[in-house]
Amino acid sequence: MSSVNMVALKTIWIKECTRFLRIWVQTLVPPAITMSLYFVIFGSLVGKRIGEMGGFTYMEFIVPGLIMMSIITNSYANVSSSFFSAKFQKNVEELLVAPVPTWVIIFGFVGGGVARALLIGIIVTFVSMFFVDVQIHNFAVIAITLLLTSILFSTAGLINAVYAKNFDDISVIPTFVLTPLTYLGGVFYSLTLLPEFWQIVSKANPIVYMVNGFRYGFLGVSDVNYFVSLGLLIVFNVILYIVAWRLLNKGVGIRT
């Protein structure tokens, strides 16, 4: 990587991080409050009635899923809103006329989404410690799964922003796709509780593999093979990167 590209990448990344840190009350505090409510309602109140799940208390079982849920939603929202704002304000055109490779633009915006996801993950994990003793089975698995998932949904947010024509368009996917898939992704339950047919159907949901991979890192248990989860994350990341690169390289949704 040339020094010029490194400076460009660093500049975009710092700008993205500064953007969400400047409004930290809107970007970092709400997930902590939301997850606290989940812990109180589903963990403390409902969890006492459910008892154990997968050999762990219900609170311990849902913690990894709740952390992953916050990582998915925030990494996606950060990049989709940021890139669309750049389109809306016309300052993305400065990047197009600058001698900056397409991959630098992608890495810069995605890097901002990953940074926000990491911060949110740390905050939610810290909040969860007030409710349960957080266990760590394999830190490397946690780190790899968190990184690949945040990159994946940051890239997906970028693609959404490329196609979006107004601010309403960037809320369609999170509302009608991400939210249902997340709630049906094994965050609050084990797939083993479902009838065999619905277990098979659930495994068509990619978020199932991310949640279970993350849960394996914390608890050492998973409804799916971790290496399958890792493989799917890598494949999805490669595919979405190629799509994002082609869209930006062609100027789809940007050049008129």
CA–CA dist 126, 132 (Å, integer): 10
CA–CA dist 85, 149 (Å, integer): 23
Concatenated DSSP letters for 149-169?
HHHHHHHHHHHHHHH-SSTTH
Does the pLDDT at position 235 exceed 90? yes
Longest dimension (CA), the chain: 60
Cα distances from 236 to residues 84, 125, 153, 205, 241, in angstroms, run 22, 26, 10, 13, 8
CA dihedral 186, 191, 196, 201 (to 10 degrees): 20
At residue 69, the pLDDT reads 93
SS3 52: strand
Does the pLDDT at position 1 exceed 70? no
Which phi-psi region, left, alpha or beta, contains residue 224 (left: φ > 0; alpha: ψ -120 to 50)? beta
What are the tens digits of pLDDT across the range 122-152? 999 998 888 888 889 999 999 999 999 999 9
Of the candidates 111, 206, 103, 186, the one whose C-alpha atom is nearest the C-alpha of residue 150 is 111
For the chain, state the CA radius of gyration.
Answer: 19
Residue 136 one-letter amino acid: I
CA–CA dist 146, 106 (Å, integer): 19
Mean pLDDT (the chain, rounded): 89
Maximum average pLDDT range among 2-6, 8-12, 153-157, 165-169: 153-157
The answer to whether 155 touches 110, Cβ cutoff 8 Å, is yes
Does the pLDDT at position 228 exceed 70? yes
At residue 108, the pLDDT reads 94
At residue 249, the pLDDT reads 86
What are the tens digits of pLDDT across the range 19-77? 999 999 988 999 889 888 888 887 667 777 777 787 888 888 999 999 999 999 999 99
Pairwise pLDDT comparison (227 vs 55), residue with the higher score: 227
